[in-house]
Amino acid sequence: MTNPKSPLVDRYGQEAGHLQDGTGYSQLLPILSRGSCRSFKTDEVDANLVQLLCAAALASPTKSDLQQRDIIVIRNPGLKSEIAELMSEQSWIAEIPCLLVFCGNNRRQRRLHQLRNRPFENDHLDAFFNAAVDAGVALSAFVLAAEAVGLGCCPISAIRNDADRVSDLLGLPQHVFPVAGLALGYPASNRPTVSPRLPLDVTVHTDRYNEDGIDDEIDRYDARRNGLLPYKNQRGENRFGTSDSYGWSEDKARQYAQQERQGFGTFIRDKGFDLS
Ligand SMILES: Cc1cc2nc3c(=O)[nH]c(=O)nc-3n(C[C@H](O)[C@H](O)[C@H](O)COP(=O)(O)O)c2cc1C
Q: Is 156 in the pocket of ligand 1 (CB under 6 A)?
A: yes
C-beta pairs of 166-171 under 8 Å, 24+ apart in sequence: 166/83, 166/86, 166/101, 167/267, 167/271, 169/79, 169/82, 169/83, 170/72, 170/101
Nearest ligand 1 atom to alpha carbon 140: 31
Predicted local confidence at residue 103, as pLDDT:
99
Residue 218 pLDDT level (bands cut at 50, 70, 90): very high
List the domain boundaries for the chain. 47-191, 199-259
Whether residue 187 has its Cβ less than 6 Å from ligand 1: no
Roughly what angle, to the nearest 10 degrees, separates helices 214-228 and 248-255? Answer: 100
pLDDT tier at 83 (50, 70, 90 boundaries)?
very high
- What's the CA-to-centroid distance between 156 and ligand 1, angstroms? 7
* pLDDT over 50 at 1, yes or no: no
Tell which residue, 197, 163, 195, 196, has the closest CA to residue 181. Answer: 163
Cβ burial of 106 (10 Å; 0-12, 13-18, 19+) is buried
How far, in Å, are 80, 160, 162, 176, 194 from residue 86 at the CA level?
10, 10, 7, 20, 29
Instruction: Compute the distance from residue 218 Cα to the ligand 1 centre, in Å.
Output: 20
Ligand 1 atom at minimum distance from 158 CA = 8
* Ligand 1 atom 19: residue of nearest CA: 36
Confidence of residue 2 (pLDDT cuts 50, 70, 90): very low
Fold of the CATH domain 47-191: NADH Oxidase (3.40.109)
CA of 7 to the centre of ligand 1 (A): 18
Give residue 111 CA to ligand 1 midpoint distance, Å. 33
Predicted TM-score (pTM) above 0.85: yes
**Residue 190 pLDDT exceeds 90:** no
